């Protein structure tokens, strides 16, 4: 499971003089994000571009350190137990780059070796994922020229290669066609049904509504509301997630409680 508590992160503004006040030298990407994502569930971080979703996922993935707050992945702290977190976590970042001059098989196998799988086990696991994600037709083609759907499948396979308990996906359906999106949704559902903790970010309301067991609405670097879809609709007195999203974010801006 994932537990995030009051995560906070700022970045230095480019081209700003050091003579300026500190508040003007830095931009806040994440103000205070707290939520829990449970095993066996699909949790969605729902928010517009720039809301702080990707920065939150990058902190949880140990790629950047939070300036304050705390978070654990399967009980391991993201700051003090980095290697343990990475062993338990599969992370597919937004527009994850795959090596264009390597084949699908080589991309996955290389990542398996980076994750510490011995040669035979890495080869076996690579073959399993190629079959599971229906990549046999392009398994031995170089990735240069792949469609967005093919790239996404390879990136997902890399995230799954070491059999992590927890999986995080940043805008995973971005650029996918309808059939590729449906296929990815089914894979995500299967992983949750197997007991995995799945967290993904999205700005697409219907995708989150159709897929998620739990939703955390994030706006301006803060979680405005988190609950099941039914719970969010009830709490905002709305019948549609889009209207509930507007209500929750407006309540946050007005100083309402989460």
The answer to whether residue 81 sits within a structural domain is yes
The answer to whether residue 150 sits within a structural domain is no
Range(s) of the domain holding residue 230 = 2-95+167-253
**What confidence tens digit (pLDDT) does each residue in 171-211 have?**
888 878 888 888 888 989 999 999 999 999 999 898 899 99
pTM of structure? 0.89
The answer to whether residue 120 sits within a structural domain is no
The answer to whether residue 100 sits within a structural domain is no
**What confidence tens digit (pLDDT) does each residue in 67-114 have?**
999 999 999 999 999 999 999 999 998 877 899 999 999 999 999 999
182 contact partners, CB below 8 Å, separation of at least 6: none
The answer to whether residue 203 sits within a structural domain is yes
The answer to whether residue 221 sits within a structural domain is yes
**Looking at the 3D structure of the chain, how many domains does it have?**
1
The answer to whether residue 83 sits within a structural domain is yes
Helix, strand, coil proportions of the chain in percent (round to 5)?
Answer: 40, 25, 35
Q: 3-state SS of 219-241?
A: ECCEEEEEECHHHHHHHHCCCCH
199 neighbors 167 (Cβ within 8 angstroms):
yes
The answer to whether residue 162 sits within a structural domain is no
| Strands 222-227 and 197-202, sheet pairing | unpaired
Tokens of 225: 């509301």
CATH number at residue 70: 3.40.50.300
What is the reported pLDDT for 258?
45
């Amino acid at each position: 499971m994932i537990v995030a508590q009051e995560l906070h992160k700022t970045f230095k503004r480019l081209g700003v003089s050091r003579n300026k006040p500190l508040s003007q030298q830095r931009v806040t990407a994440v103000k205070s994000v707290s939520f829990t994502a449970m095993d066996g569930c699909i949790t969605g971080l729902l928010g517009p571009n720039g809301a702080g979703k990707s920065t939150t996922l990058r902190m949880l993935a140990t790629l950047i350190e939070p300036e304050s707050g705390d978070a654990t992945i399967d009980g391991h702290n993201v700051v003090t137990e980095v290697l343990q977190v990475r062993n338990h976590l599969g992370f597919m970042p937004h527009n994850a780059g795959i090596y264009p001059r390597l084949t699908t098989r080589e991309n996955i196998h290389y990542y398996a070796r980076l994750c510490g799988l011995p040669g035979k086990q890495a080869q076996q696991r690579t073959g399993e994922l190629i079959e599971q994600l229906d990549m046999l037709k392009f398994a031995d083609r170089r990735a240069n020229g792949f469609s967005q759907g093919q790239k996404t499948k390879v990136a997902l396979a890399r995230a799954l290669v070491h059999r992590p308990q927890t999986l995080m996906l940043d805008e995973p359906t971005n650029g996918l066609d309808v059939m590729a999106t449906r296929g990815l949704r089914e894979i995500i559902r299967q992983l949750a049904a197997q007991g995995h903790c799945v967290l993904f970010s999205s700005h697409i309301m219907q995708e989150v509504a159709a897929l998620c067991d739990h939703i955390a609405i994030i706006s301006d670097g803060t979680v405005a509301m988190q609950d099941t879809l039914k719970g969010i609709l009830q709490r905002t007195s709305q019948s549609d997630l889009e209207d509930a999203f507007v209500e929750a974010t407006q309540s946050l801006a007005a100083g309402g409680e989460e």
